[in-house]
Chain A
Amino acid sequence: MGGSLINIYSFVHIVSLVIYLLLLIYILANNFRSAINRSIAAILFCFVLWTFSLIFIHNPLVSQSTARIFYDIGVIGWASFGSFALYFVLLFTRNRRWLQSKLLRVTMIVWPLSIIYSQWKGWLAVDYIQRSWGWSYHWTDSPIFFSYYLSYLFFIGLVIYLLFSFSRKTNDKTQKGQALIIMSTSIVPLILGGITDVLLPKLNIHTVPNMAPDFVVIWAMGIVYAIVRYRFLAITPAVAADNIIAAMPDPLLLLDEDQNIVFANGATLNLLGYSPKELQDKRIDVVFPLEQKEEQLANIASKERAGNYNLDLMAKDGRIIPAICSTSIIKRSIGGVVGTVCIMKDMTEARKIDIMKDEFVTNVSHELRTPLSIIKEGISIILEEIYGKIGKEQKELLSVSRQNVDRLSRLIDDLLDISKIEAHKVKLEIRKSNIGDIIKDVLSQLKSTARERRIKLSLGKLPRQPVFVLADKDKLDQIVINLISNSLKFTPRGGSIKVDIVVRENFAEVSVADTGKGIEEKDMPRLFSKFQQFGRKPGPGAKGTGLGLSISKGLVEMQGGRIWAESKPGAGSKFSFSIPLAKEE
């Protein structure tokens, strides 16, 4: 064997070196920016140096002085990889506390440097002897060697301990799998490497050379397998989704078809006091208050109705928590429902703010109306000449003032209405009522105003049978008054307003048509928005608040109807709304 250029051992080292180089390139190309990838690359680079040196050391043709040079190169690799391995494991297990520890950082740098220095000084490996397979050495018996040996074992042990405890603690199945692979692939290299590189030289047995870096190939491939298998170094939608769910502040529950909790995220503990494990395999109704169980279960179970709904949750300690539950259905790709995803959002603060806002609006409207009332009474008493005659000019001034007090109080009413509509706080008393009667009442209320303005206000021909609708009578009054008042405002003297009722399918349609100036085409889309007063040239009527139509729209839609307008400039306007008919009994 003595004469061949390379022997079997140096050939094995060459193969290992090539594998390490390929893995090194792969890992950097995979994700150069990732700190984990770079730490693995550093470990691999150590193995490259180590195997590279052994190619020459385990070669019978090399002289002792040349072998020593390669020994001194190789030590850089085997002395340093422990620090990089620890760094990698700290990154992988997200051990921030240790990563930021200055003492550990200094140790991780000083420790390998001192091994390298000791080896270079000849304090560790001694007695270089040429064997048939190349150069062998012998570990010194000095305390220095033993302290390094023990610290080396401690370092490697620490790495394995960290991986082990992480794999037990983490709930993330992906990371658990990765940790197990990295851990288990380190066992064989540790044992075999320990035998060939530490034990045999120590026992002065030199039939085989150091082979540890070749065994460590298994471990390096283990890490790569973990990468390929779980792709933990690159963000994938699945991994990202896992992380998002784990980090979510809102409880997320995964329900099967029978409303059993298959999975719960960690946020359940904060909001409800139940840990994910406690909730698993329980029925969803454990988190509902007793009196709401049936209703809530029915809500969740209605598969067609994925969406948001308000509900109350009951925490473990019995606290009731107002929440919004968003559900969506999970379907199989081949069809059929597998279960439901349910995200609960804590609405405690939002509800408090809602109540505060309501109180604020109510209080402000009360506080505004009180002085307005006093002003109006004062003006009225003077206008009515209870305390003596006033001149024509004074009368005119006070009339305008009083009209504007009225306008201001209408605005307050409208603002109160619109804020209630927007907050869905309007209470409806839906009853079966005769819409013809309602409209006749409204017309008789407004008749005198119309007459004052010389506008003809009339009701068209009614359907033969009385038309019954399902609606809140007062709200219906308000809608019709709004629409007619609007027309009164924009119809010039001598004009006319006609109200009609027709039945179309399951709805009664009420229309208010006037002979005013009409509405510009461009203004039509914004007609029902808040504070829109445009297009129609005002008639002699009182000024509005710009809220009437949007209030009407809110009230109509709340009762299951629809509101719309038709108009051509110069040809008048027609506002219509529909309201559901009462079913015949």
Chain B
Amino acid sequence: MAKILIIEDEKEHIFMFRKRFEPMGYDIVEAHNGKEGIEKVKQEKPDLIFLDLVMPVMNGIEVCKALRDDPETKDVPIIVVSAVGEFELAQECLRAGANDFVRKPFEAKELIKKVNKLIKQGK
């Protein structure tokens, strides 16, 4: 069963992700800030990460860079899911090592497509 780690400070967002992805058979684990997120990546070894950008302690871009710099976590696929809508920021995320960028509010169909593609690539 594929495991998705959600690094996100909004509890309701995590709730919605769970409601959508658990019935699809995904195992969902959560972290509520960037620092906790990095620890959870090492601990849980997820197949995919949903990463928010605006978070306390460590923001998404910092998390992205830290994960990519660590040989243990450098290959975990990351989808940045953020309400920050600027095009320039999406570019910055991709440069920092994210695999994809999805803007909130998103079309679930598109997100699912991206999740499937990245998990398939990982296997």
Contacts and interface: CB of A to CB of B under 8 A. Distances in A.
Interface string A379-423: 011001011000000000000000001100100110010000000
Nearest to A420: B86
B20 interface: yes
A416 B103 CA distance: 14
B84 A366 contact: yes
Classify chain B's interface size.
10 to 19
Interface in B90-123: 103-106, 108
A370 B86 contact: no
Given A370-B83, A373-B83, A373-B106, A427 B88 contact: yes
Contacts of B105: 369, 372-373, 375-377, 405-406, 409
A378 B87 contact: no
Contacts of A416: 85-86
A474 interface: yes
**4 tightest Cβ-Cβ pairs between the two chains A and B:** A373-B104, A369-B83, A373-B105, A377-B16
Interface of A: 362, 365-367, 369-370, 372-378, 380-381, 384, 386-387, 405-406, 409, 412-413, 416, 427, 474
B84 A374 contact: no
Given A369-B104, A370-B10, A405-B105, A386 B84 contact: no
Nearest to B16: A377
Contacts of A427: 88
A373 B52 CA distance: 13
Interface of B: 10, 12-13, 16, 19-20, 23, 54, 83-88, 103-106, 108
Nearest to A409: B105
Contacts of A386: 19-20, 23
A535 to B, nearest CB: 30
B85 A413 contact: yes
Contact of A474 (B20, B23, B87, B103): B87
A369 B85 contact: yes
B8 to A, nearest CB: 10
Contacts of B88: 427
A381 B19 contact: yes
Nearest to B103: A369
Contacts of B16: 374, 377-378, 381
A293 to B, nearest CB: 30
A374 B83 contact: no
A366 B108 contact: no
A380 B20 CA distance: 9
Contacts of A376: 105-106
Given A377-B108, A384-B108, A366 B87 contact: no
Contacts, number: 58
Nearest to B81: A373
Nearest to A377: B16
A372 B85 CA distance: 13
B20 A370 contact: no
Given A366-B54, A373-B105, A427-B88, 8 more contacts: A366-B83, A366-B84, A369-B105, A370-B83, A381-B19, A386-B23, A405-B105, A406-B105
A427 B87 CA distance: 10
A373 B15 CA distance: 12
Nearest to B89: A362
26 contacts: A365-B85, A366-B84, A366-B85, A367-B83, A369-B85, A369-B103, A369-B104, A370-B10, A370-B83, A370-B104, A372-B104, A373-B83, A373-B105, A373-B106, A374-B12, A374-B13, A374-B16, A376-B105, A381-B20, A381-B108, A386-B19, A386-B23, A387-B19, A406-B105, A409-B105, A474-B87
A365 B104 CA distance: 11
Contacts of B20: 377, 381, 386
A276 to B, nearest CB: 44
A423 to B, nearest CB: 14
Nearest to B19: A381
Contacts of A365: 83, 85
A334 to B, nearest CB: 53
Contacts of A367: 83
A403 to B, nearest CB: 12
A405 B87 CA distance: 21
Nearest to A382: B19
A362 B13 contact: no
Contacts of B108: 377, 380-381, 384
B11 to A, nearest CB: 10
- Tell which of B20, B84, B85 has the most Cβ of chain A within 10 Å: B85
Contacts of A384: 108
